[in-house]
Structure 1
């Protein structure tokens, strides 16, 4: 009974994209490890960008800087 946990930042991931992730992870486990899709669990956690850090900064801060640089 495989369990896959995918974490992404909460930045507009659509229901269709989430479904693609669920289908893709399930298909990969089925294909590579011969796991039964009916007993494969895929959980998607969306994390606020204030709660995700990279290089000593929050993703919120990084995204703001990127937006300012582009404008």
Structure 2
């Protein structure tokens, strides 16, 4: 069972996250020949204040 984990800065619309989940599932099915019902996608959202780039918080 493929498990795909994605970490994003919070704030994207639910529609965008749903499309990401769909697209990642399709990629796993196509590239791994995995049954669609076996693919799991976990999207974790992190507050911008907890996300640092170059030593500086994004939020």
In the alignment, does 2:45 pair up with 1:46? yes
Deviations 1:8-46 (A, max 9, x none): 101x21111111011000000000110111010001001
The corresponding residue for 2:8 is 8
Provide the TM-score with structure 1 as the length reference: 0.79
Give unmatched runs, 5+ long, in structure 1: 61-71
Name the count of aligned residue pairs: 59
Give unmatched runs, 5+ long, in structure 2: none
Aligned residue for 1:4, secondary structure, equals: strand
State the superposition RMSD in angstroms: 0.7
| In 1: Cα distance, 2:14 partner to 2:36 partner | 20
Runs of 4+ in 1 over 6 A off after TM superposition: none
In the alignment, does 2:27 pair up with 1:23? no
